[in-house]
Chain A
């Protein structure tokens, strides 16, 4: 499309929500402009591969290690949590320990790919358990869009594994691809613990190692075609698209799948109707312009920079009939606040949530074949729901396939400990590593967090980035509901380890630094799962929420604010699938209105 095009919709952000919207809207004949704050280096396969090399050579291997920030579109980095001097202005009392990526493709470039649906009870926490808040829509409303989302982002799973805890599927439905084969580690652990019972409050739960849905390509069902790598070149060639149509076990979903067998938002953007789409990278939306009388949005001001290293930029305004913010829970809230659109409810930026998570790690009595396969292929899901939620948080265990990498930095840290700690060398060193590395087991324990007015994103003119845009100021605190959930989760993982004969090696002294919090005589070291939510909450009234169930702003009716920022509560599922489903639902309504 040419520069002077008259757009139907301006979308801010080329992550999963922006890309899915762009695909749906352009295919419905609507003319769409996408503004992406970061560079589009992942848009060609060669560019993407340079990110893979960057990861190889980086001395840290965290979620950000493949994705260096552009100075003009800065992003949080988990390496900055300890010092507190990163992009986030951390005001505590607890550090917010998650990050996201501002590039074309967004945080799906480094996500794990876990695509669990939320539980029916997650949508009505207030009604059922007297905590949190209810959603303005329920599981049944979202179910058809979950199916669409599972096809759009390419989820591999078997309904036979997933139909539990009230999650139901229509007769005859199954996921577009068969489940990712369970790891050998999953099979060893399942043999040891499946069927074991644990008590939470008055209830007994039988635990099971359960394969989970993942947006990683597997064996297709029916006519489904797995979508391979993104390779959008100016010469029209797309040589790499045949790559990545099957997961090949690179054991690096986070931070980067080298063959793009894992979904990233570039895949959806590449499927948009090109004639109706214009994407401008390195274009930071800085202000939403609103008609003071009607409240309607009349434009988005953005700053276009040529060179990621220089703050030189030009200012433009993009106009359209409707506007979609899909810039991330934090960036959406920040942009609304920077535009003076804090709303009548006062809820913009309020109720920030994450899944604060604990690690548990140990040595299995026999080899589990660690360091092979997708980073995680199964979990223990049985404690995601139950009446205990009236008193403490629900939680979920991810079972890692990458040894202690996430916790201690293994295998490097295991080698260093053997060489400098135990003074091993030569054949005895090699034997020690051969015998111990394949036995490393790691759980991540994702704990639910409820919305609280004390947890929020705000802006402060004292804190700005190189283009003069506000940096997010974060207030964050883990309340007793979450901490009691952490205590219960700790008790359960210890029972699981005992049953499986796993020697508990969860020693924070041996682990990479993580923020800590005390509760009832225990100290929990937590990390963030990157699951930001709640900053532009949806609800059934303009008095208590920012957007309605269609993610449409109550006050600015041609403005839609997409993403996990709309979630009233989070449950225990990774948010991407649910936000994709919400985005598809919103897109359907937008198309009906604008193209109808």
Chain B
């Protein structure tokens, strides 16, 4: 595939409904502060969607993804994510999605949530997969690499760390949030 070809195509996502995956990415960008390309670059989008679908009762994730559609574009979107995070049903799920992207883990939902909305045997503290551990965004945020993988090379640790690209990334994340919306 050439670069030009890539540019002419709409963003496609691996597996599942493209629309649903897109919505998942839009909400993930808003939740994590990482851009769409960075999230896709982990190669874990589909893995995470499948893991969430496997553990949550039917419809809960879609309810969360629908709620994203109502987030207005621009500076105020934080307020709306805050309202999702404050929601007793969607909030714990949204926080788990953040932890999943950063740590590659699923975190057992709070007992109150489990009582109210249902219990799955898969709802336990666990690493989603060996790949998910390595793809955790926490290592990127630390300016480092996953412990035990993606070695930086002999003596790299002696050099000053590269400064975080946070300001650029924030701008990129915001524009990607807009671009990702329908």
Residues of A within 8 A of B (CB): 52-53, 55-59, 61, 181-184, 187, 218, 246-252, 256, 258-259, 367, 369-374, 377, 401-403, 405, 411-412, 414-416, 419-420, 423, 425-431, 433-435, 437-438
Contacts and interface: CB of A to CB of B under 8 A. Distances in A.
Nearest to A246: B154
Given A258-B149, A426-B173, A430-B32, 10 more contacts: A53-B130, A55-B148, A57-B127, A61-B147, A367-B161, A372-B152, A372-B157, A415-B99, A415-B138, A425-B85
Contacts of B34: 430
Interface in B100-135: 102-103, 105, 107, 125-127, 129-131, 133-134
A371 B142 contact: yes
Given A59-B127, A373-B157, A420-B95, A433 B142 contact: yes
Contact of A250 (B99, B126, B133, B149): B149
B103 A415 contact: yes
Contacts of B149: 56, 250, 258
B81 A434 contact: no
A127 to B, nearest CB: 42
Interface in B29-84: 30-34, 78, 81-82
Contacts of A416: 99, 103, 107
Interface string B144-156: 1101110111111
Interface residues of B, number: 54
B145 to A, nearest CB: 7
Given A433-B142, A438-B143, A369 B164 contact: no
A145 B85 CA distance: 62
Contacts of B15: none
Contacts of A187: 158
A433 B141 contact: yes
A434 B157 contact: no
Contacts, number: 185
Given A259-B151, A419-B95, A56 B133 contact: yes
Nearest to B157: A373
A57 B144 contact: no
25 contacts: A52-B148, A55-B148, A57-B130, A57-B133, A181-B154, A250-B147, A250-B149, A251-B145, A251-B147, A256-B148, A369-B161, A373-B158, A412-B103, A414-B138, A415-B138, A425-B31, A425-B33, A425-B81, A427-B173, A430-B32, A430-B137, A430-B141, A433-B141, A437-B138, A438-B142
Nearest to A259: B151
A414 B136 CA distance: 13
A184 B144 contact: no
Q: Which 8 A-B pairs have the closest CB atoms?
A: A373-B157, A430-B33, A252-B148, A371-B144, A56-B130, A369-B161, A434-B164, A248-B151
